[in-house]
Structure 1
Amino acid sequence: MFTNNDINFDALKRKAYNGRWATIEEGVIPLTAADPDFRTAPEIEQGIIEYIKDGYLSYGPFSGLPEFKKNVAGHFNAEKHGSFTPENVLAVNSAAQGMFLIASYVLKPGDEAIILDPVDFLFKRSVEAAGGTVRLCPVDHITGAIDFEKLVELINPKTKLISICNPHNPLGKVYSKEVLKKISEIASAHDLWVMSDEIWSDIVYDDQEFHTYSSVSEQAKKKSFTVYGFSKSFGIAGLRIGAVLCNDQEILEDFTEKSNFNSTIEGVSTLSQIAGSVALERAKPWYKEFLNHLQQNRDLAFNILSRSEILSPNLPEATFVLFPKIKNNLTSDEFTRHVLQHGKVAVVPGSERWFGKGAEGHIRICFSTSREILEEGLDRIIKNF
């Protein structure tokens, strides 16, 4: 199901944008945006077809379809130690939109938010879009460990929000219940909001346990938002479907109102919600095979790069990206340009633009493709130095 023969390259070259097959020149292998090369689960395709068979695409409830909210809550409760009701779920147009809405809800111009460094660029962008100021908390590039001493030092009267990425993009770290509890204690002591981006929480390896942030303590439940999406685990990025979860119903209702989700100004495509709902209800067997394939690709990529003299890889506990350190003296941008020009492989540079100041000296490699494509891409990178 996840071999090279299962990839429709013609379709990818027509449809896979965001630095991938549809945007690169012929002959280049894109190991860039975190988006699978495989078609989505047949159950999802069938679910969309079934929904539109009667020819009606009417308005849905502003906060989300009942089946979508029920399935998201059930998924978190069964797989991530959550304690959500369907009413604790708001359907949003992608996890990314959820992050921006939360920042706008929590922050006023001049307020400060603490984010991890390095981390995906959307954390910084969402804070700045709300008029907030970003403060960076260092994360160990190998272990993913948070510098808690620095985190506490960064807190001042202007601080309103701590944003975490769990599992962490691009380091692939899964934060334990104990670590999350420590964050909740710090946040509670200073009356801070916490946003936990958990879009990668389905892609966790070696049967490692995952705890959604709000599950780790009563403090964590009281003043937090969780962000979730379907683009990584189910390959439906183009449908732009995600969810914001919050255990405090009054807070979520206020958030829904202030985010304009109580009218037709906002709201999410019902077709996208059906795809997400069906994914959780019927496509788990497909997803488990996909996860098994990804773990094999992770191990393969780690072993290949470990033997190379140009990159020193990390072994991610989650996600389908590697974040190896560059061994020669090239900057992240120089390395990326070199492998594109000489090896015909596209990767993401560990530059400030994409991951923050702490990312320099690394590149990010996406491995959600076939074994054959991955091996060829890594071979080209290694041979062209």
Structure 2
Amino acid sequence: MFSNNDINFEALKRKAYNGRWATLEDGVIPLTAADPDFRIAREIEHGIIEYIKDGYLSYGPFSGLPEFKKSVADHFNKEKSGNFSPENVLAVNSAAQGMFLIASYVLNPGDEAIILDPVDFLFKKSVETAGGKVNLCPVDTHTGEIDFETLNSLIHSKTKLISICNPHNPLGKVYSPDVLRKVAQIASAHDLWVMSDEIWSDIIYDNRNFHTYSSVSEEARKKSFTVYGFSKSFGIAGLRIGAVLCNDVDILTDFTEKSNFNSTIEGVSTLSQMAGSIALEKAKPWYKEFLKHLQGNRDFAFNILSHSGIVTPNLPEATFVLFPEIKNGLSSEEFAYHVLQHGKVAIVPGSERWFGKGAEGHIRICFSTSQKILEEGLNRMISSFND
């Protein structure tokens, strides 16, 4: 399971977009967008087929199917120390859309939001699309620790939102309840909203515990949104399915109304919701094997890169991406271009465009593929500087 024999390369070359197999010339190995190379769990596939057998694909409830909302709430309560009911869950078209909707709900034009630096580009994009201004709070690229002194100094009258990424993309840091409580104390003291992007919260290694943000204190619970998605842990990015969770039902009701989910303007495919529900209810055995494979790949890649001489790798606590530091003096863009041209491997440069100013001098490598493909890609990357 999860070997080269389990990858349908012809299908990937037809269907895997977003800078991956379908968008690159033959012979290039994509270790880029964080998307698995493996087919979805059979349980999800069969569940989708069963759902459409009666021939009906009708409208569902505007806020989401009851079974979907219950599955998400149960998953958070059992696996992430959550305290959610189905009424605390809104189905959305991907975690990314959830981030945009939250920024639009919380921010008026000219309001300011604090995001981490480095972090995935969607945080910045969401704030700016809502007409807000971004303020960057540095994160130590070696430890993942948040600079709380700077965080405090960034807060003033126009600040309305703190956005965190937990587990952190691209550093792979899992934030402890103590760290999250500190964020909550600061936010509460200044009456700020907090958005916690937890799309990576299923991909955690070494049996670490994960605590969803709103679970760590009453302060965290009161004025926060949580974002979740299925693209990382279950490989169904193309179905565009995610969730926004909020412990305050009145706030979530208002959010649902103002985000146009109480009409047919917005809303989520019922088929996608069923796939998400089936994933959480029936595909956990597949997911656990996938997680075991990913941890093996993480350790394998870390070992190879530690002896490469060209980068210094990190050992992520979560996610299926590495964020090595470049050692040979090239910029992130130069390094990625060299590897693509001379090694036929696509990686993501740690440039401001993708992760913010604090990412420069790094690259991001996705390892959610077979160990054979990963080994070939890493060896090509290293060899491209030695030939």
The TM-score, its normalising length taken from structure 1, stands at: 1.00
Question: CA separation in 2, counterparts of 1:153 and 1:303?
Answer: 39
Question: What residue is the counterpart of 1:86 in the other structure?
Answer: 86
Give how far 1:75 is off.
0.0
| Equivalent residue number for residue 115 of structure 1 | 115
Letter in 1 for 2:154: L
Instruction: List per-residue Cα deviations over 1:35-72 (Å, max 9, x = no partner).
Output: 00000000000110000000000000000000000000
> Which residue of structure 2 lines up, in the alignment, with residue 14 of structure 1?
14
In 2: Cα distance, 1:54 partner to 1:282 partner: 21
- Secondary structure at the aligned position of 2:164 is classed as strand
SS of the equivalent of 2:144 reads coil
In the TM superposition, structure 1's runs of 4+ consecutive aligned residues that sit over 6 Å from their partners are none
Cα displacement string for residues 118-162 of structure 1 (whole angstroms, at most 9, x for unaligned residues): 000000000000000000000000110000000000000000000
- 1-structure distance, mates of 2:266, 2:110: 26
Counterpart of 1:10, as a letter, is E
- Give unmatched runs, 5+ long, in structure 2: none
SS of 2:84 mapped into structure 1: coil
Give the structure 2 partner of residue 195 of structure 1: 195
| Alpha-carbon distance, 1:292 to partner | 0.1
Q: Distance in 2 between matches of 1:171 and 1:329?
A: 21
Could you tell me which residue of structure 2 aligns to residue 50 of structure 1? 50
CA distance in 2, matches of 1:311, 1:233: 28
Per the alignment, residue 32 of structure 2 pairs with 32
Could you tell me how far apart the structure 2 residues matched to 1:328 and 1:110 are? 41
Could you say which residue in structure 1 is the equivalent of 2:308?
308
What is the CA–CA distance in structure 1 between the aligned matches of 2:332 and 2:264, rounded to whole Å? Answer: 44
Aligned to 1:65: 65
Compute the displacement of 1:91 (Å).
0.0
Q: Distance in 1 between matches of 2:213 and 2:25?
A: 42
Gaps of 5+ in 1: none
Q: Give the secondary-structure state (helix, strand or coil) at the position aligned to 2:26.
A: coil
Deviation at 1:22, TM superposition (A): 0.1
1:218 aligns with 2:218: yes
State the distance in 2 between where 1:164 and 1:249 align: 22
What residue in structure 2 maps to residue 340 of structure 1?
340
Aligned residue in 1 for 2:130: 130
The letter for the 1-side match of 2:41 is: A
Once residues 153 and 303 of structure 2 are traced to their aligned partners in structure 1, the CA distance between those partners, rounded to angstroms, is 39
Which secondary structure does the structure 2 equivalent of 1:119 belong to? coil
Match of 2:256 in 1: 256
- Deviation sequence 1:67-117 (CA, Å, 0-9, x none): 000000000000000000000000000000000000000000000000000
Which residue type is aligned with residue 32 of structure 1?
T
Deviation at 1:329, TM superposition (A): 1.0
Structure 1 partner of 2:160: 160
* In the alignment, structure 1 residue 280 sits paired with structure 2 residue 295: no
- Cα distance in 2 for partners of 1:315, 1:238 equals 29
Aligned identity (percent) is 83
- In the alignment, residue 136 of structure 2 is paired with which amino acid? L
**Which residue number in structure 2 is paired with residue 384 of structure 1?**
384
Which one-letter code corresponds to 2:246 in the other structure? C
SS at match of 2:191: coil
1:253-286 CA-partner distances (Å, limit 9, x unpaired): 0000000000111000000000000000000000
Letter in 2 for 1:166: N
Partner of 1:367: 367
Aligned residue identity for 1:276:
G
Secondary structure in structure 1 of the residue aligned to 2:127 = helix
SS at match of 1:340: helix
Partner of 2:246: 246
Q: Give the Cα separation in 2 of the matches to 1:126 and 1:80.
A: 25
SS at 1:35 equivalent: coil
Distance 2:251 2:293 in 1: 40
1-structure distance, mates of 2:276, 2:311: 37
Number of aligned residue pairs: give it: 385
1:141 aligns to what SS in structure 2? Answer: coil
In structure 2, C-alpha distance between the alignment counterparts of 1:286 and 1:111, rounded to whole Å? 43
Shift of 1:180: 0.2
Secondary structure at the counterpart of residue 303 of structure 1: helix
Q: State the Cα distance separating 1:308 from its structure 2 match.
A: 1.0
Distance, in Å, in 2 between the alignment partners of 1:47 and 1:316 is 33
Which residue of the partner structure matches residue 350 of structure 1? 350
Amino acid of the residue matched to residue 331 of structure 2? T
The two structures, once aligned, show a CA RMSD in angstroms of 0.3
Task: Confirm or deny that 1:143 pairs with 2:128.
Answer: no
**In structure 2, C-alpha distance between the alignment counterparts of 1:384 and 1:253, rounded to whole Å:** 54
- Aligned mates of 1:110, 1:37 — CA distance in 2: 41
Structure 1: which amino acid aligns with 2:252? L
| Amino acid paired to 1:310 | I
Matched residue type, 1:189: A
Amino acid corresponding to residue 363 of structure 1 in structure 2: I
